[in-house]
Amino acid sequence: GDKAFAQFLTDEIKEEKKIQKHKSLPKVSGGWELEVHGTEAKLMRKIAGEKITVTFNINNSIPPSAEEDTQEQQKPDEQEPELTSTPNFVVEVIKDDTKQTLVLDCHYPEDEIGHEGEEESDIFTIREVSFQPTGEADWKDTNYTLNTDSLDWALYDHLMDFLADRGVDNTFADELIELSTALEHQEYIKFLEDLKSFVKCQ
């Protein structure tokens, strides 16, 4: 059984490498620096007196619906549809002269449906906003967290503009999907390779 499993994994790795779009991770435009620790990635940039970091984790970032639909409609010789990784991401804005960090928790809406009457819909939404003490590893549940579900639209729009002014806009969000998808695929191939050596190990 293990031999067949290892053989299957070998073929699977070959296939995955064939469809891998990026041998190296795509860059995010706008002078963002990238740090990757396993499945967690962090993008950083500094602008006039502020440091902006965007953190996301590729685990569980591929929407489940993508897989369910394909099995029914797939014809045997069709290519599998591309899986896209749309992780939640957290934007932190740190001002040099305050001890507080503004934290915005952002999501890609699953259904991509904008609010009616909006000409151009944003591809991501802000879910929650809070202040956290700068430099603290653990965020406190005692800090007030603003949930945007019941938020005044004007305030929400200002928050979106605030992010856009700092380089977190639709273009960024698109490039983040691209980066995250490449990273997810890279980690998946690495996982298959690790699994193969694990299975072959006597």
Structure confidence at residue 116 as a pLDDT band (50, 70, 90): very low
Question: Which DSSP symbol is given to 78?
Answer: S
State how far the Cα of 200 lies from the Cα of 202, in Å rounded to an integer.
6
Pairing of strands 50-57, 89-95: antiparallel
pLDDT in tens, 127-161: 999 998 877 666 667 788 889 998 899 999 999 99
Give the chain's domains with CATH numbers. Answer: 25-59+83-110+120-187 (3.10.280.10)
pLDDT in tens, 10-20: 999 999 999 98
Nearest Cα to 143, choosing from 108, 181, 101? 101
